Structure 1
Amino acid sequence: VILGYLSRKFVQKSRNLGRKTSQLGEDYMAGITDQLNGIKDIKSNKLENSYIEWLRSLTSRMNAEQIEYVKLKSSSQLIYKVSAAILITVFIFISVKVFHAQGEQLLLIILIFSRLWPRFITIQSNFEQIAATLPACQAVTKLIEDCSKEQEFKQADALSLVTKPQIECKDVYFRYKKDSHNYVLKDINLTIPHNQMTAIVGPSGAGKSTLIDLLMGLNSAERGEVLVNGQPLKDELLLSLRQSISYVPQDSFLFNTSVRENLLTVNAQASERELWEALEFAMAAQFVENLSQGLDTVIGDRGMKISGGERQRLVLARAILKKPALLILDEATSALDTNNENKIKESIDRLKGKVTIVVVAHRLSTIQAADQVLVLEEGKVIQKGSFDQLAYEEEGAFHKLLEGQFQTVQ
């Protein structure tokens, strides 16, 4: 009991060292991930030395922390052993001088004590080790709790697809931080008719991608509501809509596996013919045929073994293979050359009347066939109408955007 009381200091120090270990581990993983993701920027800007110094500094701190832990463990073991020797001496002295214990009794007690003492040492050492690893365990437990709190809903049974989605936004307001006075979207009122093509345009920072996130239910409106076929977008309806959506972002994401497996993630039952039809639609069939193993070629982490344009075409092919009722393209052709962009534009135009299409575009020439154009500026819809109608409104924002792009081309 006395040793347990005295060992509290070592247990607390072990816990503090555990916190440092966890924090250093987080810093290491975050820094290495940033360096791997930004390797092109680091090399092109000749920043290698600064990142090497960062790594040396961090590993030096990690090394010092581990040495400190070994020193702590050695010190505690030394103190326990010295304390044990002192306790045994005091015990024998008191037993002989005060209680006049017999020799055989003392020998028996000392034998028992000598057998139990290593167990006490082991228990105490385990306490220190647990204290050192406890902060990491607490961090993981907190992460699990946070994820559970933020869970959207429990997985439901098989849901029916939303085959003809018509989406409405009524008086929608949204901001990322509740304590902020700046709304990213303000007073959004719009309708996206089913089986028509709607284009969303505007300057950078206007709120286009945020609006897309609201339409897909990835964010929830702070005020107002998003309706699908007249019903609020939540719970089972949200799951049904997502099963009916194909989303192609500007930053194309692919898994570290083969082309075939990347495509089959959205439609595991797709046939070989359907795979090639989707690739043909996205103008990706030719480059896939030229890969070393065709459809079975592994394309690396995030598709790094192929070019940006090829990644974008594969993601588009994957979206088409899902056979969606709602196709959302967020700058989906930004990494393509003009020739391939025009071909994909023609392919998308052929989907009109069969699929609800929402396109976010900076290059306005790609949305000439849109049934409806929505112009966003500073989080508000400032213009609605057809491409030709808005193009001829000389005082309108859309006309100015067109004029600016035309002058850039000239």
Structure 2
Amino acid sequence: MEKTISTTSTIVAAKPIADSRADGAEKSTLRSYFAMLIQVSRWHLIGVIVVTVLFSLSEGIGFALLLPTLQVAGFNMVGQGAAGKYAAMVSNAFVAIGLHPTLILLLGLFVTLVGARTVLGQIQSVGMYAVQQEVEHHLRRRLYHSIAEANWLFVCRSRASDFTHALTHEIYRVGSGTNLALVFAGEVVLLTLYMAIAFALSAGMTALVLISGAMLTFVFRGRTHAIEAQGEEVSNTSKTLYAATIEHLQSLKAAKTYGAEERNFSIFSALSADVVSANVDGARQQAVAATWFELGSWIILAVVLFVSIRVLAVPPAAILILLLLFARVMPRIMTGQYHYRAFVNMLPSFNNLLDIEGRCAAAAEPAAHPHDRLSLTRELATEGVSFTYSEGRIPAVRDLSLVIPAGKVVALVGPSGAGKSTIADILMGLVLPDSGTLRLDGRPLGPEGVRGWRDQIGYVAPDTFLFHDTIRANLKWARPDASEDEMLAALRQAAAFDFVAGLKDGLDTIVGDRGMMVSQGERQRLALARAFLRRPSMLILDEATNSLDSENEGRVLDAIESRRGELTVVLIAHRLSTIRWADLIYVVEGGKVVESGDWSSLSAQRDGRFRALWEAQSLTI
């Protein structure tokens, strides 16, 4: 029995602690959000605030003219308490400025105010949308920059779809939430003005409404937290669907080949249903909160009216005006609550952006020094280098020591998974060793120098990527200042000139999404041309000729051979025929060099690992 009581008390005590932590996290997110908002749109915000105040004043003044208009229309305001005094005060104000308050004058003034309010409303709407767009633009740029500045290992360990989801859907949600926050702020300004008028007519009745409204808001505080939690669920499910969408579209060819269309469809449908469920639950939470808040509001108004008539003895004219006033106020309070809840529902998206940005910032590469352009003049070497992609995995590279002499052609060969591409990443400074040293001309190449070194590298990956753009744009991506003659020369070097010249639009041909409108071999040659155009001091070809026929492969290798001595080349290959002419060959297995030498010396070692690879491919000396 005692144990049960203890457990129950622990649970009861834990709930306030959890609520307190949730409140603290929400306040922290709100502070970060508003700090960002002020930083990004300070002047637009000031303009929106000024227009919002003027917009509210135009409506408030129009409503304030109602009492003197009733008096001019023949309604006796004498003996109507504060309402009568207020009508007399407005009439005296008109007389003081030399105007006699007639019905035509008051109605004309009212119409003028309505017209001004319409114009101000348009300006306010455009201003709010401009702020929303500025916030989205700022967050999009900031997050993309953080991702781009992060080191390659962090990017590899992250899911690309999470970045894409944050850069699109999450930022859109934050932008929409910003618009809602501004609308809510405008409603607060207008409600403040209405409350001021209501206080002037009946301070007691208005105070009673405000106190009751505060109590109602406190009662619904827990539901607001539930709506925020639901917003987090919407964010998570949409992120999962986004990831699946990208993966399924990228694997569509394989799915068709394996007859897996229906299986993929079932998985996608289930994820889509989760998103629908989360959004519908969010809408249900909003609707339930709105229903109870509206019911509570009208109950409060009924109680306030009863107390005002029977206890406070508010005059009939004031009651009439207050009823009209609260009839306008109550819907705004309810829409204000809705906008606030929707804004709170957005906060998890903003928090997600901050989280991704923070993780990217923690993994950022050091900034490159503007004058720190490194070049390879003697050799690039690794000394006892080891590297593991993640804790608990087998090292991809172990105690690696090798030398890349300047101006030479060096080949890395070995079975799949031997660590050849990882070695290339280390040589480029894309990933930093866990231990050991990378040296450029004898100097250690640390985190602060890798950007300057990468400026001197041309790289062609096995999975060639081209943008959905023209051949010209894909080439200029490597070197924006390249001339057309330089691009054509690079195409010739890569054995791509003839096929580009044969295209109807030549350099202006669109290559399609990821280059799908040209063949794999043509994509590879365009990627080679892009690397040549960069005029690198070191060229790394990672299986870069594996999709070329023998004739075009020979042309590419001849082009590289023509620059022997002035260009350092690292060839990563499975086909040994492509590296026959290399100056130095490293045989890699298990992330380390097991043999090294030239073609003749390695193929002559009958029990060597290179000889085994050589015989497996039925090569001759």
Q: TM-score range by the shorter chain?
A: over 0.9
Match of 2:250 among 37, 40, 48: 37
Counterpart position of 1:157: 370
Residue by residue over 1:172-193, the C-alpha shift from the partner in whole angstroms, topping out at 9 and shown as x without a partner, is 111111x326221111111111
Match of 2:492 among 246, 266, 280: 280
Deviation at 1:394, TM superposition (A): 1.0
Residue by residue over 1:274-304, the C-alpha shift from the partner in whole angstroms, topping out at 9 and shown as x without a partner, is 2111111111111111222001001112111
Within the alignment, does 1:399 sit opposite 2:617 as a pair?
no
Counterpart position of 1:82: 295
The aligned runs of 1:281-296 (5 Å cut-off) are: 281-296=493-508
Bigger share in strand:
1
Number of equivalenced pairs: 406
On the 8 A contact 1:169/1:226 being kept in 2, the answer is yes
The aligned runs of 1:124-203 (5 Å cut-off) are: 124-164=337-377, 166-177=379-390, 179-180=391-392, 182-203=394-415
Residue by residue over 1:227-277, the C-alpha shift from the partner in whole angstroms, topping out at 9 and shown as x without a partner, is 111112124532221111000111111111110111112222222222111
Which one scores higher on RCO, CA 8 angstroms, separation ≥ 6?
Answer: 1
Counterpart position of 2:420: 208
Letter in 1 for 2:583: D
Counterpart position of 2:480: 268
Letter in 1 for 2:257: S
Tell me how far apart the structure 2 counterparts of residues 29 and 157 of structure 1 sit (CA, whole Å): 38
Counterpart position of 2:511: 299
Tell me how far apart the structure 1 counterparts of residues 562 and 364 of structure 2 sit (CA, whole Å): 38
Tell me how far apart the structure 2 counterparts of residues 264 and 173 of structure 1 sit (CA, whole Å): 36
The aligned runs of 1:8-407 (5 Å cut-off) are: 8-95=221-308, 99-104=311-316, 110=323, 112-164=325-377, 166-177=379-390, 179-180=391-392, 182-406=394-618
On the 8 A contact 2:241/2:275 being kept in 1, the answer is no
Tell me how far apart the structure 2 counterparts of residues 70 and 55 of structure 1 sit (CA, whole Å): 23
Bigger share in helix:
2
Letter in 1 for 2:215: I
CA RMSD of aligned residues (A): 2.0
Deviation at 1:218, TM superposition (A): 0.6
Tell me how far apart the structure 1 counterparts of residues 273 and 383 of structure 2 sit (CA, whole Å): 56
Q: Indicate how the Cα distance of structure 1 residues 145 and 322 shifts in structure 2: closer, same or farther if over 3 A, else same.
A: same
Tell me how far apart the structure 2 counterparts of residues 100 and 187 of structure 1 sit (CA, whole Å): 89
Q: Indicate how the Cα distance of structure 1 residues 396 and 42 shifts in structure 2: closer, same or farther if over 3 A, else same.
A: same
What SS does the corresponding residue of 2:514 show, helix, strand or coil?
A: helix
Choose 1 or 2 for highest CA Rg: 2
Q: Which range moves more in the overlay, 248-257 or 261-270?
A: 261-270
What SS does the corresponding residue of 1:406 show, helix, strand or coil?
A: coil
Tell me how far apart the structure 1 counterparts of residues 394 and 435 of structure 2 sit (CA, whole Å): 14
Tell me how far apart the structure 2 counterparts of residues 134 and 155 of structure 1 sit (CA, whole Å): 35
What SS does the corresponding residue of 1:151 show, helix, strand or coil?
A: coil
Name stretches of at least 5 consecutive residues in structure 2 with no aligned partner: 1-213
The alignment's TM-score, normalised by the length of structure 2, stands at 0.62
What SS does the corresponding residue of 2:570 show, helix, strand or coil?
A: strand
On the 8 A contact 1:165/1:325 being kept in 2, the answer is no
Tell me how far apart the structure 1 counterparts of residues 604 and 283 of structure 2 sit (CA, whole Å): 76
Tell me how far apart the structure 2 counterparts of residues 115 and 29 of structure 1 sit (CA, whole Å): 42
Tell me how far apart the structure 2 counterparts of residues 306 and 70 of structure 1 sit (CA, whole Å): 47
Letter in 2 for 1:183: P
What SS does the corresponding residue of 2:617 show, helix, strand or coil?
A: helix
Letter in 1 for 2:516: M
Deviation at 1:68, TM superposition (A): 2.6
On the 8 A contact 1:165/1:356 being kept in 2, the answer is no
Letter in 1 for 2:478: V
Tell me how far apart the structure 2 counterparts of residues 317 and 291 of structure 1 sit (CA, whole Å): 17
On the 8 A contact 2:409/2:568 being kept in 1, the answer is yes
Q: Which range moves more in the overlay, 209-218 or 16-25?
A: 16-25
Letter in 1 for 2:469: T
Deviation at 1:53, TM superposition (A): 2.2
Deviation at 1:142, TM superposition (A): 1.2
